[in-house]
Amino acid sequence: MGLCVAVTLPLEFLVGARVYRSPRRLATAVVPVLVLFGAWDVFAISRGHWTYSSRFVTGVEVGTLPLEEIVFFVVIPICALLTYEAVRRLLALARAPGRLSFRWPDGLVRVGEGGPDA
């Protein structure tokens, strides 16, 4: 999970994905996944459909869910949203006239033909 975050987090700054700057959109992506799949896991665990090996979890649980499972349900949607927004932004930039440039904190931006101030 750490690697997933480490690979996608720079997209926020380098490409200007703006995921963390939009907390409502971020919550819209994370909360349904957390609730739906969290409930599914709780149900499946209670029915004995699956379990988690103590070798691979810390032992910290929220209800019957291992902490790692909850972190998974938060991290994966964030990484997916960061990737989606970065690709969407790059495609929009590639289709727009002008040239690509880098401007902090917006990340990669399209600059008009007359230069950065045009």
Peptide bond into 105 cis (omega under 30): yes
Q: Token digits for 72?
A: 């998974």
Q: Is residue 41 part of a domain?
A: yes
Q: Is residue 92 part of a domain?
A: yes
pTM here? 0.74
H or E stretch including 60? Answer: none
More confident residue, 12 or 34: 34
Q: Is residue 6 part of a domain?
A: yes
Q: How does pLDDT run across 18-72, given as a tens digit for each residue?
A: 888 889 989 998 999 999 999 999 999 999 998 888 899 999 999 889 999 999 9
Q: Token digits for 63?
A: 């209800």
Q: Is residue 118 part of a domain?
A: no
Q: Under 8 Å CB-to-CB from 56, ≥6 apart: which residues?
A: 68
H or E stretch including 96? Answer: none
Domain that holds residue 50: 2-111
Domain count for the chain: 1
Q: Is residue 117 part of a domain?
A: no
Q: Is residue 116 part of a domain?
A: no
